């Protein structure tokens, strides 16, 4: 029978785990559980974090900025969220830093109802587009518009709660014809709720080269407890490597933890569809050694440069100030 977790993985973890009682660690997600989070659930379910001396508490969040802010406020030890959102907060003084990259490239997009008649980004002028406050997908939206000869004032951008985003889109609430969302989760959610495949305008097609989602921690944790950071990063990297090998089992682990509709056939299929997108972007083109979790300097330089030019990022720090590869196994 195929072994789910390799012996090597457990040995690697045991080399950094201590014989003391497990550290209670809180991981804050960017949203409620969806397929991209399956690696964390798999690591918890299969004992990878436990083997690293970590008693992991995974909590849902309310947007990437909120998740990283909770790390800055020491409510949570680590967060999984948009790298751009993390940079924005860190540049304003939040004592946080990225210690690993999970989604190495961005998946942000404008997702448009196929019955809207919209064929180009310019066709969105005057149209209502829905998004969620604090969502990382908001960061580069103005750049996409600018590269199409538009500005945010040319569209009716409206915030709604995350739980109502897809339903409002499907209902055409208030005349809405599009949402801002990730290609990793929203198209699958739209289809799962009876909608047709949306027309997608990926940010990456309009001059937005960015790093996707990262794991952040507090500077104090980095300084005062580097052993914990090393163990958490190592366990997370191994968990996602094992998820690459066993995506169905990873989704099952997440379904077992969350329950409800996610444990039903349709929920499992949706989660797997989302996870497949994430597994396809674990390594950027610049990560030639395919080292999972690694921060590629040129990727971060490109993102910081874009943020300075188009998003009024104010920082004199080099891009390397926002991340560390110290703990990447």
Three-state helix/strand/coil letters over 204-225: HHHCCCCCCEEEEEEHHHHHHC
Of 182, 206, 230, the residue at which a domain comes to its end is: 206
Structural domain of residue 23, as residue ranges? 7-106+211-322
Q: Categorize the per-residue pLDDT at 10 as very low, low, confident or very high, splitting at 50, 70 and 90.
A: low
Q: pLDDT by residue (tens digit) across 255-277? A: 999 999 899 999 999 999 999 99
| 216 domain-assigned | yes
Give the span between the Cα atoms of 273 and 271, in whole angstroms.
5
User: How many structural domains is the chain composed of?
Assistant: 2
What is the mean predicted confidence (pLDDT) over 15-26? 72
pTM (global) more than 0.85? no
User: Biggest alpha carbon distance in the chain?
Assistant: 62
What is the mean predicted confidence (pLDDT) over 78-98? 96
Beta bridge partners of 57: 26
Indicate whether 92 and 160 sit together in one domain: no
Indicate whether 318 and 272 sit together in one domain: yes
Indicate whether 222 and 251 sit together in one domain: yes
Residue 12 pLDDT greater than 70, yes or no:
no
Whole-number pLDDT of residue 2: 46
What is the mean predicted confidence (pLDDT) over 109-137? 94
pLDDT above 70 covers a percentage of the chain that reads: 94
| 88 domain-assigned | yes
Q: pLDDT by residue (tens digit) across 28-66? A: 999 999 999 999 999 999 999 999 999 999 999 998 999
Nearest to 248 by CA among 30, 38, 23: 38
Residue 163 pLDDT greater than 70, yes or no:
yes
Indicate whether 292 and 306 sit together in one domain: yes
Q: pLDDT by residue (tens digit) across 46-56? A: 999 999 999 99
Q: Which CATH number belongs to the domain containing residue 11 in this structure?
A: 3.40.190.10
| 219 domain-assigned | yes
Indicate whether 66 and 128 sit together in one domain: no
Residue 282 pLDDT greater than 60, yes or no:
yes
Residue 7 pLDDT greater than 80, yes or no:
no
Whole-number pLDDT of residue 199: 96
| 327 domain-assigned | no
Q: pLDDT by residue (tens digit) across 171-183? A: 999 999 999 998 9
Residue with tokens 């969620």: 132
| 2 domain-assigned | no
Residue/partner pairs of 290-294 with CB below 8 Å, 24 or more apart: 291/328, 292/237, 292/240, 292/241, 293/100, 293/101, 293/102, 293/215, 293/233, 293/236, 293/237, 293/240, 293/328, 293/329, 294/101, 294/325, 294/328
| 198 domain-assigned | yes
Indicate whether 223 and 314 sit together in one domain: yes
Which residues make Cβ contacts (< 8 Å) with residue 305, sequence separation at least 6? none
Indicate whether 198 and 219 sit together in one domain: no
What is the mean predicted confidence (pLDDT) over 278-284? 94
Whole-number pLDDT of residue 139: 80
């Amino acid at each position: 029978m195929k072994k789910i977790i390799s012996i090597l993985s457990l040995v690697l973890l045991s080399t950094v785990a201590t014989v003391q009682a497990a550290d209670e660690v809180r991981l804050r997600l960017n949203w409620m559980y969806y397929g991209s989070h399956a690696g964390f659930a798999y690591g918890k379910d299969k004992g990878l974090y436990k083997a690293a001396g970590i008693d992991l508490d995974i909590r849902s969040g309310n947007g990437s900025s909120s998740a990283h802010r909770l790390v800055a406020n020491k409510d949570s030890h680590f967060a999984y969220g948009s790298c751009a959102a993390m940079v924005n907060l860190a540049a304003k003084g939040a004592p946080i830093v990225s210690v690993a990259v999970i989604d190495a490239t961005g998946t942000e997009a404008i997702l448009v109802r196929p019955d809207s008649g919209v064929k180009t980004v310019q066709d969105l002028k005057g149209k209502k587009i829905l998004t969620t406050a604090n969502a990382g997908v908001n960061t580069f939206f103005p750049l996409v518009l600018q590269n199409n000869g538009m500005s945010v004032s040319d569209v009716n951008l409206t915030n709604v709660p995350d739980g109502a985003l897809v339903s409002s889109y499907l209902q055409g609430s208030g005349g809405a014809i599009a949402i801002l969302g990730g290609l990793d989760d929203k198209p699958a959610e739209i289809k799962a709720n009876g909608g047709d495949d949306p027309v997608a305008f990926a940010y990456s097609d309009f001059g937005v080269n960015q790093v996707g989602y990262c794991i952040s921690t507090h500077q104090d944790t980095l300084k005062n407890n580097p052993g914990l950071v090393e163990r958490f990063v190592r366990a997370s990297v191994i968990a996602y490597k094992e998820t690459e090998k066993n995506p169905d089992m990873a989704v099952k682990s997440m379904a077992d933890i969350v329950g409800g509709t996610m444990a039903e056939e349709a929920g499992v299929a949706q989660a797997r569809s989302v996870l497949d997108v994430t597994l396809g972007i674990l390594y950027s083109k610049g990560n030639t050694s395919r080292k999972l979790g690694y921060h590629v300097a040129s990727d971060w330089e490109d993102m910081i440069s874009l943020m300075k030019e188009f998003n009024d990022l104010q920082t004199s720090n080099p891009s390397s100030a926002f991340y560390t590869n110290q703990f990447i196994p």
